Amino acid sequence: MANKKETKTHFNYNRLWKLLIDRGIQKQELQKMSDVSAASIAKMGRGENVTTDVLLRICEALDVNVEDIMKRVPNEEKRSES
């Protein structure tokens, strides 16, 4: 099995969670609106990777661009968020 290369950055979905709060949308409602699985929403909640298809469905459901729901941040920030 190949070693997983450590990246210098990761994606942070705090913009999505803030947008949901601002619009009064629960995660379960987003799941239904976007036809995204609960597992994918949970992965995003943990800051894990999801497919571009998942991101596209969420963007379409909320009528936003991808930069409105996520940003790329240095790994040091990830450690301090934990």
pLDDT, one tens digit per residue, over 21-48 is 999 999 999 999 999 999 999 999 998 9
Beta bridge partners of 51: none
Q: Which of 80, 54, 48 is nearest to 66 (CA)?
A: 54
pTM comes to 0.82
pLDDT digits (tens, 9 = 90+) for 59-70: 999 999 999 999
pLDDT recorded at residue 82: 47
Output the average pLDDT for the chain: 89
- What domains does the chain contain, in order, with CATH numbers? 9-81 (1.10.260.40)
pLDDT recorded at residue 6: 77
Q: Which of 30, 21, 24 is nearest to 55 (CA)?
A: 30
Q: Which residue, chain included where needed, has tokens 């799941």?
A: 31
Distance CA 26, CA 76 (A): 29
Tokens of 19: 């947008």
Angle at 49 between CA 36 and CA 63, to 5 degrees: 45
